[in-house]
Structures are given as C-alpha cells and as structure tokens.
Amino acid sequence: MAESTRKKQDIYLLGQPLKTAILGNKLPAKGEVMRRFLYIHLLEKMTVRDSETAVIREVFPIWQRARISTTQEYNAIKKLDDMFKLWQGLKIHSKRNQMLKDIQEDRKFLLAQREPGRRGYMSGIDKNLALKEARSYERKRRQENYKLKSVQAQEEITAGACSAEIKHSSSDSLSERAGVEKLLSVPKLKSSTGERQATAVHECLLEWNLEESVKALVFDTTASNNGKKNGACTLLQQKLGRNVLHIACRHHISEIILEHAFSACMSSNTSGPEIALFLRFRNEFNSINQAGYHTIMNDESMNSNVEQHKEGIVSFCLTQLEQFQPRCDYRELLKLSLILLGETPPRGVRVLQPGALHRARWMARLIYVFKLYMYRHQFLLTRVEEKGICRFIVFGISVYLRSRFTAPDLLSAARHDLLLVKRIQQFRDVDCEVSVATANALSRHLWYVSEELVGAVFFDDQISHEEKVLMVDALSVESKTTNDFTKRLQMNINDISDEMSVKDFVSSNTM
C-alpha cells in the first residue's frame, strides 16, 4: 500500500518530491532543487514564481557558507524557471512508447549481427523510409536557411546602427554617397518657448558636431517658432552666429488661409474641437441616397462664379490624381472637386463616409463642405448655412485648391504665391469679405517672395529665360529693406499688382 502511494507521488524523471528544506554541507544538485521546487508547487499549491523564489532563497545560504559567489536572485529564478519549462516539455512525451519499441528492435538487430554468420541481408531501397528521410532533410534545410537569414538580417541592423555616427574626413576629396535620413533627437521640454526650443536644438547640433552644417531652418509659422525677437528660429540663428534660410511650412500657411476663409463664410458658434454642422451631417450620412448628388453645374449662380476656372481646375485635378499623393484625403479632395464640376473621376464616382472633423484638420472642412453641398437637398440646412457653404466652395475651388497641392514645390513657391495673391485679389469681385480676410492672412506669411528665398525660382522650369535674365539684372539692385532685414516680405498685399512678377522681388540680398 505504501509502495503504491509512493509510486503515485513519483515525479517524472525525478523520483519522489523533496518534502524537507534543502540543508546540509553539500551543494545541492539540479535534481534536488527541482524535486524541492515541484513539491512546493504541486503539493503545497504555491504559484510557480513563489515556489521558485522560495527554493532559491533556501539554497543561496549554502553557497554563501561555501564562500562561492552567486548570481543575482532574479537571474537564479530565471534559470530555475527555464529548467521547469524544459521538464514540462519532456513530460509531454511521458506516455510515448514508440521510442522503446525502436530500442527493442535495434537491440534484437544488434544481437543478431553478433551471431556467427550474421543472419539477414539488405534488400532493395525502402521507399517509405526514403520519403520520410527526404521530408526530414527538407524541413531541416529550411530551418537552417531561416536561421541564416535571421543572422544576416541582425548583422545588417547592427551594421546600420554602428554606422549612425557621423565621421568627418580630413581629406578634401569628394565622393558620392547615398543620403540617409536620421532623427537626431526628441528632447523633452518643460515649455515650448522659443528660448527653450532654440537651446535644445543648438545642444543637439553641438552633440552631433553639425553646427557648421546647418543651412536652413524648417518650421510651422507660430509665434514661438518665428517670432521676430523671441522666436526659436531667431534665437537659434543668433546662437549659430550666422545667417541661415528660414523655410516656413507651406502646408501650414495654406491651412491658415483656409481657416480665415471658413470663419468668414460660416458663422459657427461651436468653441469645441468639433463643428456641430459637420457632426450632424456625419451622423445622418448613412440615411442619405449617395447616388442622388447635385453638382455646381445644376446651380446657375454657382456655375457663373467657377465657369471661367473650370477647364484649368479639371485639368489640374486629373494631373494630380496621376501623381503620388501622400494621404488618402488628398485624393478624396481632388475627386470631390471633379464631381462638383460635373466630371467623373478616373475610377468612377464614389463618395466616402465622412471622417475625422476636428479643427486641427483644415482640409477636412473643405471635404465636408463639398459633401454637404452635394447632398443639400437631402440634408436639412438653414439658409445661412447653405449660403456659407456656397461661398466657401467657390473660394475653395477657384482660389485655394491649386495652391494647396503645389505647396510642397519649393523651387516654384514664389511663383505660386504670387499667383495666389492675384487670385485672392481677383476674388474680391466675387466675395469681398472672404477676399479681405484671406489677403490679410496671406500678407503675414509671404516668406517665399522675400528677397532671400525668391532666388529659388532661378531653378523653376516654368519661368521663362527672358524673365530669368531680368532677375539676374535685378541682383545688382540695392535692397530696399532696413538693417533689421526680416525673413519674410513686409508688404501690403494690395500693393502687389497684376503686372508684377518674381523679378520685382529680387535684389542684392537674394545672393
């Protein structure tokens, strides 16, 4: 009876569990540690981690008495946990008896071969065995290839990480290299003042030994970034001790213009992050018959305001759709513009579910307003809302759309900004309030027609050779600005006439 009870308590491959604590003057073996651990875990019903901790704390004093240094407790616990997982893996096959059968067959074969004359002989190829071995070989080969690829990939990553350090050559020779973008730092600032930003950037440049390599500063047009006295760009330029180019984000500038146009057209009382009209439209969109949309061509008053621009805008949208667009909503805006103008996009008409509408996504306002106009006969709008939507659409299509999608092109920035100025001035005959609001906004952001940056149009293919010759002549003209030369054009937008071109903004400061 006692013998059967002990057999029931036997631990696979280890024997009886160890009930008493590990004591004595001998270093414990792995088997003893595992037997003690499994007793605590299986019979005393403690968790795996608690059992491992208890056993390690039992055996550590034995090593300490022997003056043998030990690893940290958490490392010892991890080793014991690995042993436990290995034992669990072996225990899974505890009922397996095929291996025993194979051993018995091999034993009989060995004894038979030891007999005089060695009975038995080899016959032909065992096809079943050959097939099994072929599958086994192929599986092992794939595993080896996978391991080799993993090692090679890790070596490439390590090599890339090691080559992140910038090394300067003492030689004057030049060699062609592949450019690699790298994020140098993401400093944590207590506040986003211009001084803190400038200091953080300057320290990063010093750390990477790049202070002399800075040629331009790229930024959003906020007071903390480009303030005349305390802006981060101004202060950083002072720390560098030399003049650098100021490259303002053109997308941000276009968003500011669109914001002022929206405020002039739509009298929204919502002060939160969302716009109530858009939220209501999004909630009711599923109940709208999406095939029953209306275009500008169905409205005589709207059609008369955009008719003269239609051909150029349609051609522009189709060209842009053939090019890569970084975001899906860029393509959506182009397609909606074509639909409103009575055209069919290349892949047919498809109106997407209205998406995010918070105030930080300025382009979403134009997308929402386009859809509101298309389904205004199925969605309840007040007279004021419908009028504001129509005003905003006319501005968006005839004035704003082209400037939005040409914003990334630095070389043609001055030319496109002048075209935008002239379109806004001409729009005064259509909607004076919107024209004045957007003109005032743009007049504070004429960065790319400044005397410094206007020189980029020398590389603009759309500028004629004759115009560039006149620009070269203008390089000898003395600058009209004062000593406190700013990085953006300080000029009333109404003083820019239709006859003016980029050559009128070139001066000796352009070099």
Q: How many domains does the chain have?
A: 3
Burial class of residue 491 (count of CB atoms within 10 Å of its CB; 0-12, 13-18, 19+):
middle
Which of 408, 426, 443 is the last residue before a domain boundary?
408
The region, left, alpha or beta by phi > 0 then psi within -120 to 50, assigned to residue 233 is alpha
- Non-local (6+) Cβ contacts of 475 within 8 A are 506, 507, 508, 510, 511
Tell me what pLDDT residue 160 has: 40
**Which residue shows structure tokens 């303030």?**
227
Integer CA distances (angstroms), 485 to 19, 195, 327, in order:
87, 21, 37
Give the mean model confidence (pLDDT) for residues 133-152: 85
What three-state secondary structure class fits 34? helix
Q: Is residue 116 a part of any domain in this protein?
A: no
CA dist 425 and 493 (Å) reads: 9
Confidence of residue 340 (pLDDT cuts 50, 70, 90): very high
> Residue 502 carries which DSSP code?
G
Q: Is residue 137 a part of any domain in this protein?
A: no
- C-beta atoms surrounding 440 within 10 Å: 14
pLDDT at residue 487 is higher than 60: yes
User: Does one domain contain both 395 and 275?
Assistant: yes
Query: What are the helix (H) ranges across 11-126?
Result: 30-38, 48-65, 73-91, 98-114
Q: Is residue 62 a part of any domain in this protein?
A: yes
pLDDT for 425-438, tens place per residue? 999 999 999 999 99
Among the ranges given (56-60, 253-257, 445-449, 489-493), the one the predictor scored with the smallest mean pLDDT: 489-493
User: Does one domain contain both 311 and 365?
Assistant: yes
Tell me what pLDDT residue 401 has: 92
Tell me what pLDDT residue 159 has: 42
pLDDT for 125-135, tens place per residue? 778 888 888 89
Tell me the DSSP string of 147-163: HHHHHHHHHHHHHHHHT
pLDDT at residue 165 is higher than 80: no
Question: Which tokens is 236 given?
Answer: 């950083």
Tell me what pLDDT residue 106 has: 75
Give the mean model confidence (pLDDT) for residues 14-38: 88
What three-state secondary structure class fits 270? coil
Q: What is the mean pLDDT of the chain?
A: 83
User: Does one domain contain both 240 and 206?
Assistant: yes
Q: Is residue 302 a part of any domain in this protein?
A: yes
Q: How many residues make up the chain in this entry?
A: 511
Buried b (16+ CB within 10 A) or exposed e, 323-360: eeeeeebbbbbbbbbbbbbebebeeeeebeebeebebe
Tell me what pLDDT residue 99 has: 56
Tell me the DSSP string of 461-493: TTS-HHHHHHHHHHTTSPP-S-SS--SS----G
**Could you tell me where the beta strands, DSSP code E, fall in 99-244?**
216-219
Domain of residue 46 covers 2-91
- Parallel/antiparallel/unpaired status of strands 216-219 and 245-248: parallel
Contact 114, 81 (CB under 8 A): no
- C-beta atoms surrounding 53 within 10 Å: 18
Give helix then strand counts, H and E, for the chain. Answer: 19, 2
pLDDT at residue 283 is higher than 70: yes
Residue type, 156: E
User: Does one domain contain both 314 and 373?
Assistant: yes
Q: Is residue 326 a part of any domain in this protein?
A: yes
Q: Is residue 459 a part of any domain in this protein?
A: no
Give the mean model confidence (pLDDT) for residues 7-15: 78
Tell me what pLDDT residue 371 has: 92
Tell me what pLDDT residue 500 has: 86
Confidence of residue 167 (pLDDT cuts 50, 70, 90): low
Tell me what pLDDT residue 161 has: 39
CA dist 416 and 231 (Å) reads: 27
Rounded to 5 degrees, φ, ψ at 248 are: -75, 145
Give the mean model confidence (pLDDT) for residues 341-364: 80
Question: Which tokens is 502 given?
Answer: 């980029």
Tell me what pLDDT residue 271 has: 56
Q: Is residue 264 a part of any domain in this protein?
A: no
Tell me what pLDDT residue 164 has: 45
CA dist 149 and 262 (Å) reads: 55
Confidence of residue 227 (pLDDT cuts 50, 70, 90): confident
Tell me what pLDDT residue 168 has: 58
Which of 408, 440, 471 is the last residue before a domain boundary?
408
Contact 70, 63 (CB under 8 A): yes
Contact 138, 131 (CB under 8 A): no
pLDDT at residue 145 is higher than 50: yes
Q: Is residue 111 a part of any domain in this protein?
A: no
- C-beta atoms surrounding 303 within 10 Å: 15
Which of 361, 383, 408 is the last residue before a domain boundary?
408
Among the ranges given (77-86, 341-350, 470-479), the one the predictor scored with the smallest mean pLDDT: 470-479
User: Does one domain contain both 302 and 373?
Assistant: yes
User: Does one domain contain both 276 and 395?
Assistant: yes
CA dist 397 and 370 (Å) reads: 10
CA dist 402 and 394 (Å) reads: 13
The radius of gyration of the chain from alpha carbons, rounded to an integer in Å, stands at 39
- Cα 275-438-301 angle, rounded to 5 deg: 75
